[in-house]
Structures are given as structure tokens and as C-alpha cells.
Amino acid sequence: MNWLFVYLAGEDWKQPDPAKLDRVNPDGSYIGGTLISLLRVMNELRRRGHRVDLDQPVPARYDVLVICREPSFINDYLDVAANRRILWLHDIDQQADFRRYRHHYDGAITVSPFLGSLYPEAGIPLLNSTNPLEIVDIPRTETEPLSLCFAGMFIKGRGVDFALEVLAELLPIRPDARLHLYGSHSLWGSPADIVRLHCDRHYLPRVEAALAKVERSAVEFHGNVANRDLLRRLAGHHFLLIPADVDESCSMVAIEAQAVGTVVLASPRGALPDTVGPGGLCLPLEPAPWAEKIAELAADHESWRGYSRAGRAHYQARFRCDRVIDAWLDWLGGL
């Protein structure tokens, strides 16, 4: 089959190398989860012998034209010959544009059942899928007695301040606990840069207050890391914290953590309960219960291993890229 994916149209971003699954561009800029998901799908299709183009169509007829995220991008591709035009929905705020442009599409694919629930009257065939992850076979490598991590942008709603609050509650119970932060900028470095790039003026004081409650030696900042490197590092942590205070359409890092057997603790927002599934727990956003649950599971090794095994099985059944693409192809064949 011949595929054309459209993602970067209308955006002033450097086109990444589709052969590379990496979170960091050569210039150090961060590649978000949606683009990582796209590159994984493209690579899996190429592995199966499909022809796949990105953004720039060739003068030929495509079997499938896939518009990623922005329904309005179809306007620039109406003259592209395609047997099927598909919208790949990743965001929770596209309902208005979806209603406006859906008549141009033969169907839509979402990244979670939660996201699909936001489009109850789609008017076109809808497949509730997920963000995919390639086959992962990375061994566990824990070296610290109790290792936690947070991976994401340091912005309001993502919860890096909450992760630090959890650590502050946990340290009196488990002084050996350590929190590893993977993200865009050092919290220990320049607050001015944090304000300018990530934290609004209302959020920064919360981050600073949370930092003041913990010993610096209990927190390690790693910055942006490449995707394969992040997977290896996740395998060295016991828990991944996803204390999102906003609805998530899907959580790439939750999938990645489960693939390497790391137990996920998350908020119950959006798609997180479905994505985490049996590979962890979704808890209300109160730091003390999170700390208590971490201490409880860390002391009960068999319970922790149960969540770890269940998370790996959940990844295998739901999120492996080859299985996601199998479902895509079955659904496309029925349109």
C-alpha cells in the first residue's frame, strides 16, 4: 500500500528523520509524543513493505492519506488522489474543526477510547486505537533502593510540582527514595528560563515551594534524553509518576514504562486509567496517599512485581506497534 502522512504542514518545524525514533532533534529541541507515535507507525509500515511519504506528496495515487491532529490540514491536500482519507486524532480540543471538516474524511482514528468518547456523534467511521510502541526487550536495571521518576514537560498541569510534593511526603518514611526528572529544563538552573519557556507566573512559585521541601541530593535532573535512552533509564526505576491535572488523550510515557516493567502511578484524568490499566494505579491528586502507596508497594516486593508483570502484558496486548497496525489495516479494509 501507498501511504501519505501529513503532520508538519503549516508549522515551522524542522522535519525529523523518519528512520530515527528519538525525542531530541540534532539542535536539542524536543520532539513530542505525537510525532514519535507517527514515526513509529511509519517505520512499522515500511518494515512490512509499504511505501510511506511524509508531508510531500508524489504525483501518484495513494491508498491512504492520513492527516495527523489538525482536521483543517486537509484543505492543502484536497487535490491529492487517495482511495481513503483518514484523520488521526490526538488532541482533545479538535471538536469544532472536526465537525467543520469531517465530510472530507472517510474515517478517523483516535489514540484512546477516552478521546473517542469526546466525539460521540462523529458522523464517520471511528476506530479507537492508541499510541504505539515498537517491540521492546530491555531488562530491568534497578540500582537504587527506591527509585521514582517523572518524565515530561515542566508546565502547569503536568505535575512536576506534585511529584516533588510526593517525594517530600515519602522521604520521612523512606529516606533512601530518589526522584529522577526527565524534561525540558533544569529546575536547579535558571528560574528566568523556566518562566520564559515553561512556567507561567502563577505556576513557578508552586514549583519553587515544592523544591524547598526536599533535599537536593534526593532529586536528579537529566534533561531531554533520546527515546531509546529513556526506555533504558525507565527500566532502572521502580515507579513512574504521572500526576497530570489535565485530561490526557493518551500517555506515551506510561506505555513506555509498562513495556520495561516500571510500575505507573497516575492521576485518574482522561485516558490515564485505560492506558495504565493493570500496570499501576490511578490515585486522586493528594501527595500523602501517593507516598503511602509507594512505600507500601516498595515494601511488598511481590505486589510490586505483580504490577510490573501485568504492565508488560498490558503493553504486549494493547500497545505493540505491530498489533496496532494490524488493527488499523483490518479497520481500513472494512471501510
- Owning domain of residue 122: 2-132+321-333
> In this structure, is residue 137 part of a structural domain?
no
**CATH of residue 230:** 3.40.50.2000
Same domain, 107 and 193: no
| Averaged pLDDT for residues 98-108 | 96
Sequence-separated (6 or more) residues with CB below 8 Å from residue 228: 21, 22
Between 286 and 225, the higher pLDDT residue = 286
**pLDDT reading at 25 higher than 80:** no
What is the CB-side half-sphere exposure of residue 307 using CA atoms within 13 A? 23
| Averaged pLDDT for residues 50-66 | 93
Same domain, 184 and 104: no
Contact 224, 133 (CB under 8 A): no
Same domain, 162 and 302: yes
Backbone angles phi, psi at 238, to 5 degrees: -80, -35
- The string of pLDDT tens digits covering residues 162-178 is 999 999 999 999 999 99
> In this structure, is residue 83 part of a structural domain?
yes
Strand pairing partners for 320?
133
> In this structure, is residue 140 part of a structural domain?
no
Same domain, 184 and 274: yes
Number of domain units in the chain: 2
**Segments in the chain forming alpha helices (H):** 33-47, 95-101, 113-117, 160-170, 191-197, 204-212, 227-234, 252-259, 272-276, 287-299, 301-318, 321-333
Euclidean distance between CA atoms 37 and 154, whole angstroms: 21
Lowest-pLDDT range, 23-27, 55-59, 226-230? 23-27
Question: Quick one: what percent of the chain has pLDDT higher than 90?
Answer: 70
- The string of pLDDT tens digits covering residues 113-134 is 999 999 988 899 999 999 999 9
What secondary structure letter does DSSP report for 14? P
Average pLDDT over the chain, rounded to an integer = 88
3-class secondary-structure state, position 161? helix
- The string of pLDDT tens digits covering residues 131-162 is 999 999 999 999 999 999 999 877 788 899 99
**pLDDT reading at 311 higher than 90:** yes
Nearest alpha-carbon partner for 14 in 59, 55, 52, 46: 55
**Range ranked top by mean pLDDT from 8-17, 83-92, 187-196:** 83-92
The CA-CA-CA angle for residues 58, 33, 190, to 5°, reads 125
> In this structure, is residue 138 part of a structural domain?
no
Question: Quick one: what percent of the chain has pLDDT higher than 70?
Answer: 87
Q: How confident is the model at residue 196 (pLDDT cuts 50, 70, 90)?
A: very low
Between 227 and 97, the higher pLDDT residue = 97
Nearest alpha-carbon partner for 165 in 211, 218, 217, 215: 211
> pTM (2 decimals)?
0.90
3-class secondary-structure state, position 77? helix
Between 92 and 226, the higher pLDDT residue = 92
Between 269 and 36, the higher pLDDT residue = 269
Contact 255, 133 (CB under 8 A): yes
Q: How confident is the model at residue 14 (pLDDT cuts 50, 70, 90)?
A: very low
> In this structure, is residue 139 part of a structural domain?
no
**pLDDT reading at 99 higher than 70:** yes
| Averaged pLDDT for residues 264-290 | 98
Same domain, 75 and 111: yes
Question: What was the pLDDT predicted at 195?
Answer: 41
Euclidean distance between CA atoms 152 and 233, whole angstroms: 14
| Averaged pLDDT for residues 48-60 | 92
Question: What was the pLDDT predicted at 157?
Answer: 87
Question: What was the pLDDT predicted at 17?
Answer: 55
Question: What was the pLDDT predicted at 7?
Answer: 86
Angle, helices 301-318 vs 287-299, to 10°: value is: 100
Between 129 and 93, the higher pLDDT residue = 129
Question: What was the pLDDT predicted at 197?
Answer: 53
Query: What secondary structure, in 3-state letters, does 261-277 show?
Result: CCEEEECCCCCHHHHHH
Question: What was the pLDDT predicted at 316?
Answer: 97
Same domain, 75 and 184: no
Same domain, 75 and 202: no
Same domain, 306 and 326: no
- The string of pLDDT tens digits covering residues 229-270 is 889 999 999 999 999 999 999 999 999 999 999 999 999 999
Question: What was the pLDDT predicted at 13?
Answer: 43
Same domain, 265 and 177: yes
Contact 82, 61 (CB under 8 A): yes
Instruction: Report CA 97 to chain centroid distance, whole Å.
Output: 23
Same domain, 127 and 173: no
Same domain, 227 and 248: yes
